Amino acid sequence: MPADDAPVDLDALDFSKLYADRSRIEEVNAQRGDMVMLTGVVMVDPTRHLVVGYKDVLADEFWTKGHFPRYPVMPGVLLCETAAQLTSFYVYDQKVVSAERLVGLGGIDKARFRQPVKPGHRLVVVGRGRRVGRVGTQFDVVGHVRENGQYVEAFSASILGINIGEWKDLERA
């Protein structure tokens, strides 16, 4: 998202008042265990197809020992997975797609990584739906971390979601 298209003032968000905590996120999204990338969802604005969530990046994440041992940096693929989980939370929570269906990652376009995300960071991800429908979605996402008291852009991408099918059919496959 270009700076002049900034959908939300991150400094104005109240992270103590969550729209959804981890237990609510797990009620909505399918990921479990180490693959749950969201800590909380701070806001959902269905009139603008806007969603803001975050991940508190911990020192004992499964990737910290190997990426990279002397300078742990959250892998770009996990940054994109965090964004994908945030956008899928939106489409399920807003009943764009039924809970009986699986929404999966259909593509990542225009991904750019600008600032390392490290243990101790709170990664705040803002997603804005450009196309939001039952068959597919496209969200522009931007992830931010605080450095020197201000938010800086860590990454941006366009996340495509696809409706893979009904769980009952997929579980038999």
CATH of the domain at 127: 3.10.129.10
- Determine the structural domain holding residue 131 and report its residue range: 3-172
Q: Out of 49, 67, 121, 144, which one is annotated catalytic?
A: 67
Q: What is the pLDDT of residues 11-50, one digit of tens each?
A: 999 999 999 999 999 999 999 999 999 999 999 999 999 9
Predicted pLDDT at 171: 80
Q: Per the structure, how many domains does the chain have?
A: 1
Distance CA 151, CA 10 (A): 8
Q: What is the pLDDT of residues 99-157, one digit of tens each?
A: 999 999 999 999 999 999 999 999 999 999 999 999 999 999 999 999 999 999 999 99
Token code pair at residue 5: 């298209």
CB 156: neighbour CB atoms within 10 A? 21
67 belongs to the catalytic site: yes
Go through the chain and tell me how many residues it has: 173
Query: What's at 67, amino acid-wise?
Result: H
Cα torsion angle, 112, 116, 119, 120, sign = negative
Q: What is the pTM of this model?
A: 0.94
